[in-house]
Structure 1
């Protein structure tokens, strides 16, 4: 199987930031992108903290969603109208103040749905802070 992504990390960052301004505000960055595999980073900023001194859930959720979007584009190319159908996220422990890494993989790609998995880790610790699965709906191809 060809492991080359249908979009580069730099192209995805440009498209993602333009299409999802929150990703730009959070400064989410793509570190690597291959067909069906993605690694993104949420850099630490003081405004990400919540009571208890950990990274907020909404920021982590956004990182998960952007990672899944990258996985879809890695497999099908630029599909700006691919949209989240569902995401289930389990927060396993607080993410301490610091960068958070997302490691994602495409579990299944069909004609209309893409199923993804993402694990989040503190950049300074290899223990998972969250695990998520989700589904993206792909745009209909003419004639569907």
Structure 2
């Protein structure tokens, strides 16, 4: 049985450049998003705290956490398949586990299974400095076929 190829396809710097060019509306200096670590199919990203993410009741909103998780998934998949802008989320399930602190949120994402057309992935979200997770996400990404050139 052959071992799957697990060579990092995009470094942290590659990903930052790609995201700034292809998705400037989401990844820019004022977005609060940053990539902290990238390995093959595995990454950690951060969303800097801002009071604009607070919902009634004084907690960080669910849509904010979902956005961060999806961003982390995208970084993880691109680290494994390279700059494929049209890789997209086809399924996303989030379990909110506890109320997040009013501080930065960290997202640890990893690929569980990578196929030719689909990737099954997971993300765990944490409030910065707190060991207990605030949310857990499972997701499937669709990978478009590579066009022949």
Question: Under a length normalisation based on structure 2, what TM-score does the superposition of the two structures give?
Answer: 0.87
Question: Against the structure 1 CA distance between its residues 18 and 91, is the aligned structure 2 distance closer, same or farther, given a 3 Å change threshold?
Answer: farther
Larger relative helix fraction: 1
Query: Is the CA contact 2:6–2:80 (under 8 Å) kept in the aligned structure 1?
Result: no
- Unaligned residue ranges in structure 1 (runs of 5+): none
1:53 deviates by 1.5
Tell me if structure 2 keeps the 8 A contact 1:116–1:134. Answer: yes
Assess, with a 3 A threshold, how the Cα gap between structure 1 residues 19 and 54 changes in structure 2: closer, same or farther.
farther
**Normalised TM-score (structure 1):** 0.90
Report the Cα offset of residue 4 of structure 1. 4.8
Deviations 1:17-47 (A, max 9, x none): 4434234453211100000110000100111
Question: Of residues 8, 11, 14 in structure 2, which corresponds to 1:8?
Answer: 11
Structure 1 runs, 4 residues or longer, greater than 6 Å off: none
Q: Show the 5 A alignment for 1:1-144.
A: 4-20=7-23, 21-24=25-28, 26-142=31-147
Give the superposed CA RMSD. Answer: 1.8
Question: Which structure's CA Rg is the greater one?
Answer: 2
- Following superposition, the deviation at residue 48 of structure 1 comes to 1.0
Determine helix, strand or coil for the equivalent of 1:105: strand
**In the TM superposition, what is the alpha-carbon distance from 1:61 to its structure 2 partner?**
0.5
